[in-house]
Chain A
């Protein structure tokens, strides 16, 4: 199981939780499992999010590997000028 840390505003889409345990070996797999467990998060993921894995921010990397020991945060989509 991999633990995903959600930003606080997502609690209302995840039964009040700010951490969710999911299955998966890649960023894509854990996001898919997150939406399976909490379908209310579907629009959030569809709108675009970034994910940080062990401190490295992955703006768009569904292929990136995660392990059970990974520290994973869901972050808002990033932009720059």
Chain B
């Protein structure tokens, strides 16, 4: 797909108007998942296992059902049997069958006339467990003698002889590692670990499901992708997808964690059992942390070789990841992208997907990439120090560019890693003076982005204003971006475009807002649908003027005659054509459906300055710079917002956030007081530089920007701490107690 749109002289693209949903959000008028209220609505509460691994011997709901106001109790017995593969995994995760597989695993659910009654009833559901040995650590779960969580869960890829908890195995690479390491002047080997962290969206999961005895249902839900909700819920319940219509609410963050189902099928099953009354379920924060997807934790070994002038000759990485009690840790992506920043002839990756007694992991912003970046970019930093080469310079000497063969196979097209490194080097932050106990860290990162199934419609209203219907929920300002792209295509004002997020009954299938795809894919769809409308608008003008449509051009929101034989006609504006469209052929609309493949990855480079308190081990982030390639920034404010959000989440992952499990496998910090995400006072202003290397696969050059930004912060912080203290921290999070302990050991050494 070629770059077939405008590349300069934009009137709308690159401007920063207010977002169309802004007023609703600041006045409280926006309706989120929990804001739905309908007559006769019941409230659902989920009964969750207090054990990390336990056989469910018996569930007795007699006392719960006897409580006044209780309308239904469901267990796994209320769901169809015989599901296979991922559908079975989803069903089993939504509602445990024979065993509870992690602390917080759903084992039953209750619907009642109030949430208080439902909570009381949930406590009256008597579950008899036979507690089993558990394992929550990835390395422990792979060892001989570790409790087997689910025999037979491994797929074709796992070689014989590995523990049954290893469920997928990856082996990728190319070249001759022995030759590459023999050519190196410096070889460094290190092991690293990262903990599981939660997406930490502010809005907990919430939905309302209604399903009658005829198997037809409706759902209102906070989600990144309502077609995914429809497909997964239908699979779990054993109904056809078209029996269910799903409407997305506004969404208070997702970051990948809202691309799957948790309690949504439960609300539908409860509704059906309660005679078709709608059932609303709103998770508490504790439920969110205990039972919805965090990302995977990782244990990693890296070996890299380099010549004395800083050229990487060979790289090898082994990545062990646990993603909870089901297959799906994103180690497949890790093994593709670990060394993707660099031009390396000899490279090899080994990956293990391991199941443990933890909640089923869900996608989290660049799933699988930040962990590997922590290990690889930390190793490169150490090598640069040993060789006496500037950290940006060493990356420039190895950076991929247009035409470089990637470490995962195909050659890159135009990409912006070199440009991001050069912009970082030129930024004032990179030369700001540092004081005592202060240090600077640099790291680069990559995310390959995504296209995905996409369907959009554009309709002209009677007054010439435009309605855009897309199927990707707006998480980061995408309605503004769609409106800008439509306005640019039509040559009309931004304010004359309204963008709606349609329900599953109004458009063809749309994948979620995931993979950094919304602005790229729904944007492309919007432009293509607008172009179809413009063709029809030109035809109406041609008909009116009695000329061939080829003699009509569309400029600045109007059809104009063009060419020597077009004749002399006054331009017809979109408003003038629209006012007459009912009598000139009927409504005018355009449509796009497809799976665009011209997405292109985004590279970024982060520079961070920190100060370490030698008495407490506390890290203060002094300055933070994000430089990233956006291809073309449609709405620069929201591009910067993505950069800053990724950095903020990465800072939390690097310094504070972690899932802490006891020996009993129970999560010990399932509230935000104990699970510490960064707040505004923890962070400096995060500076941004938008690099624009246009993506030839989008009409305006867009490439997704949402995920790359969380990849560099983990190693950038570690490298800054190394710069400030001389300590190489190899395990995340780098909390004050860990740094203080390392400082003391360093002093004693």
Contacts and interface: CB of A to CB of B under 8 A. Distances in A.
Interface of A: 5, 7-9, 43-44, 47, 52, 54-61, 64, 71, 73, 75-81
Contacts of A56: 410, 597-598, 697
B452 A7 contact: no
Given A56-B597, A78-B448, A79-B330, A9 B170 contact: yes
A9 B172 contact: yes
Nearest to A47: B155
Contact of A80 (B336, B516, B597): B516
Contacts of B210: none
B409 A52 contact: yes
Interface string B345-371: 000100000000000000111110000
Interface in B593-650: 595, 597-599
Given A79-B363, A80-B256, A80-B367, A61 B174 contact: no
Contact of A59 (B156, B336, B451, B707): B451
Given A8-B171, A80-B363, A81-B364, A57 B410 contact: yes
B544 interface: no
Interface string B304-344: 00000000000000000000000000101101100000000
A76 B174 CA distance: 15
Contacts of B700: none
A5 B173 CA distance: 11
A81 B597 contact: no
Nearest 6 CB-CB pairs, A to B?
A81-B256, A80-B515, A9-B171, A73-B409, A81-B363, A52-B410
A80 B450 contact: yes
The prevalent SS among residues of B at the interface is loop
B675 interface: no
B597 A59 contact: yes
A81 B515 contact: yes
**What interface size band does chain B fall in?**
35 or more
A55 B169 contact: no
B173 A81 contact: no
Nearest to A44: B156
Contacts of B451: 59
9 contacts: A7-B171, A8-B348, A9-B170, A43-B156, A57-B410, A75-B336, A78-B515, A80-B256, A80-B515
A79 B410 CA distance: 18
Contacts of A78: 333, 448, 450, 515
Contact of A76 (B336, B364, B449, B597): B336
Given A75-B336, A80-B516, A81-B515, A59 B452 contact: yes
Given A80-B363, A80-B450, A81-B365, A55 B172 contact: no
Nearest to B362: A81
B595 A76 contact: no
A43 to B, nearest CB: 4
A26 B56 CA distance: 50
B411 A55 contact: yes
B103 to A, nearest CB: 24
A55 B410 contact: yes
Contacts of B199: 81
B48 interface: no
B259 interface: yes
B171 A59 contact: no
Interface in B390-416: 408-413
B517 interface: yes
Contacts of B330: 79
Contacts of B599: 57
A7 B172 contact: yes
A79 B408 CA distance: 15
Contacts of B411: 55, 71
A81 B366 contact: yes
A52 B169 CA distance: 21
A59 B333 contact: no
A56 B255 CA distance: 26
Nearest to A76: B332
B514 interface: yes
A55 B365 CA distance: 24
A8 to B, nearest CB: 5
B595 A60 contact: yes
Nearest to B173: A8
B157 interface: yes
Contacts of A57: 410, 448, 597, 599
A44 B335 CA distance: 16
A51 to B, nearest CB: 10
A79 B336 contact: no
A17 B681 CA distance: 56
A8 B157 contact: no
Q: Which of A75, A77, A78, A81 gathers most chain B CB within 10 Å?
A: A81
Given A52-B409, A71-B410, A80-B450, A9 B169 contact: yes
B555 to A, nearest CB: 32
Contacts of B598: 56
Nearest to B368: A79
A81 B595 contact: no
Given A9-B172, A80-B515, A81-B515, A55 B156 contact: no
